[in-house]
Amino acid sequence: MRQLIECVPNFSEGNDLATIKQISAEIESVEGVRLLNVDPGKATNRTVVTFVGEPGAVIEAAFKAIRKAGELINMSKHKGEHPRMGATDVCPLIPIANITMEETAAYAQQLAKRVGDELQLPVYLYEAAQPDKKRNNLSVIRAGEYEGLARKIILP
């Protein structure tokens, strides 16, 4: 039985359709992934993307999209009505078929490690993917937003 997970990354760009298309194209370039929705928001200046597939393909597509977003989105100039932590604000994985939340969380941890190692980006896990339950609430992780990230990185 095929395992399926859904990925719903939020990217900190909701106005520049060319940028949004380039990020979406990275997702669509991965065989076995189906792009379901791209929802840009002008006021929030963020785009919510939804795609689904087998875990390995979804992780690859998410990584490629995160990398592309980091190349294209300049957070020092970003303004929007929604809290955000970076070019990719959140990248949740959701179990859809024949997979548990625990297994899905392990894939989230695998993606986080790859993003940290290969892209040299700080990654903050939350909810089921966060092993330290004192740090699993997204609002705690987002405290200080992007502007507070430099200070947050040096904290234990």
Q: List pLDDT tens digits, range 73-110.
A: 987 776 656 666 678 988 999 999 999 999 999 999 99
pTM to 2 decimal places? 0.88
pLDDT, residue 99, reads 98
pLDDT, residue 143, reads 63
Contacts of 107-112 spanning 24+ positions with Cβ under 8 A: 107/5, 107/55, 107/58, 107/59, 110/59, 111/59, 111/62, 111/63
Report the distance separating Cα 96 and Cα 109, nearest Å: 18
Check pLDDT > 70 for residue 149: no
Domains of the chain: 4-153 (3.30.990.10)
Mean pLDDT of the chain: 88
Phi, psi (rounded to 5 degrees) for 115: -60, -45
DSSP one-letter string for 110-154:
HHHHHHHHHH-------GGG-SSGGG--HHHHHTTTGGGHHHHHT
Whether 82 is catalytic: yes
Length of the chain in residues, anyone? 156
- Of the candidates 34, 78, 82, 114, the residue annotated as catalytic is 82
Q: Which amino acid, one-letter code, is at 116?
A: G
Confidence of residue 44 (pLDDT cuts 50, 70, 90): confident
Report the distance separating Cα 70 and Cα 130, nearest Å: 23
pLDDT, residue 71, reads 96
DSSP one-letter string for 54-108:
-HHHHHHHHHHHHHHHHHH--GGG---SS--SSSEEE--EEEEES--HHHHHHHH
